[in-house]
Amino acid sequence: MEDTNFTAEEVQRLYKRFMKLDKDKSGTIEKEEFLAIPQIANNPLASRMIAIFDEDGGGDVDFKEFLSGLSAFSDKGNPVEKLRFAFKVYDMDRDGFISNGELFLVLKMMVGNNLKDNQLQQIVDKTIMEADKDMDGKISFEEFCSIVESTDISKSLTSSI
């Protein structure tokens, strides 16, 4: 598919994988079918990843959405694509900003009960304060990119297909 980072051969391979994941042969992968994949089931952000793949919000992922979602993880994916995917993990309501509440919820998914809520809220408040350059109380994509510039997120968001 022309709007992904995959070759025709890779698309064919991914289609076979998609068909194997589609246990009920509905033409889409439901959340339960995604969670049957051990690498996804064990990820604390699995539900966020599935929501990002589900571009139309229909509750399942068709092949086009599957390819589009995986495209960011391709070694041919550009760094901005990878950052955009990471940003979407936090931007739960898809409004183009990460709010204090969204950051809290996603970090809570990651840390579970390892931190008390008030400790986590302090981290969230400090992060928003440091990242929010225009002082609007939320983090834009540009502000997000500035925060993660120092980390090599594109390497950690690359997977060989």
For 86-127, the pLDDT digits (tens) are: 999 999 999 999 999 999 999 999 999 999 999 999 999 999
Per DSSP, what are the bridge partners of residue 139?
A: 98
Question: What letter represents residue 130's amino acid?
Answer: E
Structural domains for the chain: 8-71 (1.10.238.10), 79-156 (1.10.238.10)
Predicted confidence band at 150 (pLDDT cuts at 50, 70, 90)? Answer: low
d(CA 37, CA 91): 24
Percentage of residues of the chain with pLDDT beyond 70: 91
What is the value of pTM for the model shown?
A: 0.83
- Strand pairing of 97-98 and 139-140? antiparallel
Contact 145, 78 (CB under 8 A): no
Strand, helix or coil for residue 142: helix
